[in-house]
Amino acid sequence: MRTPPATPSDPPGTTRPIQSIERAAAVLEVVARAGGAASLKDVAAHTGLGKTTAHNILKTLDQLGYVMRRVGDTRYHLGGRILNLSRIVGDDSSLRLRLRPALETIAQRTGETVYLAVPSGDETYYLDTIESSQNLRTTCRIGERERLEGSAVGLIFLAFMPGLGPRVLATRTGALGPDIRSRIAQVERLGFAVDLATYQPGLHCVAAPWREGGEVRAAVGLSGPSARLPRDRLTEIGALIMKTVSTA
């Protein structure tokens, strides 16, 4: 929908609000004020929109990751993408403090580089890291961003964040490679992601999700030289990460 042109009564240089954006914002506000979940009926009633219009807006927001449906629940919940925007504004520090003990435990148990990552739009953002003390080790810079494809933490977000995988697959299919769907399916089945030198030659990685309220909010990953981290060892560490972060 185009922005309506200014009318003669509007001040010079004025543009009028875009109705579709106003409606989408109103829908999100209703869901937020309802505690993060609202039915189609409630959204339509509180926004004054017809049910068909409200449904179409909610379906679009669902496809974009700003709202989501849960199994067995007809309500629309705030989605991971909008919650990530809130996280960026307010709670990176608290998340880092909360998960730091888990990172320390995993680092002590494995001797490898461990890191905490969160989704940021369609990218991965690294919040914290504990580097290995071994001579041959990997590094991870706090504040670094990277695309989702290729990394173990990226696979976690693609597999477990509703709407993210389909959206990225639709816009970056060439970059993700022909086997990405099978890799995502494997992550969903195992509960953790393994990368065998796909992201970087000679580097093996494993990552598992951290959930809050049942929703994936972050991923804890580990990486090191392939010689020290064969597949069997990565599987063991994947189980260790899942167990450790489950109580964080």
Chain mean pLDDT for the chain: 83
Cβ 211 vs Cβ 125: under 8 Å? no
C-alpha to C-alpha distances, 11 to 2, 60, 95, 121, 144, nearest whole angstrom: 19, 34, 46, 36, 45
| Confidence tier at 7 by pLDDT (50, 70, 90) | low
- 3-class SS at 124? strand
C-alpha to C-alpha distances, 34 to 30, 31, 75, 188, 214, nearest whole angstrom: 6, 5, 11, 30, 19
Which stretch of 5-14, 148-157, 230-239 has the lowest confidence by average pLDDT? 5-14
Q: How many CB atoms lie within 10 A of CB 153?
A: 31
pLDDT of residue 17: 75
Most confident of 107-116, 142-151, 161-170, 180-189: 107-116
Question: How would DSSP label each residue in 54-121?
Answer: HHHHHHHHHHHTSEEEETTEEEEEE-HHHHHHHHHHHTHHHHHHHHHHHHHHHHHHH-SEEEEEEEET
**Residue 128, exposed/middle/buried by CB under 10 A (0-12, 13-18, 19+)?**
buried
Tokens linked to 175: 């970059």
Could you tell me which residue, 148 or 90, shows the higher pLDDT? 148
Q: Is the pLDDT of residue 1 over 50?
A: no
Q: What is the DSSP letter of 161?
A: S
Give 51-82 pLDDT, tens digit per residue: 999 999 999 988 887 888 877 888 998 876 77
Q: Is the pLDDT of residue 2 over 70?
A: no
Q: Is the pLDDT of residue 3 over 50?
A: no
Q: Is the pLDDT of residue 15 over 80?
A: no
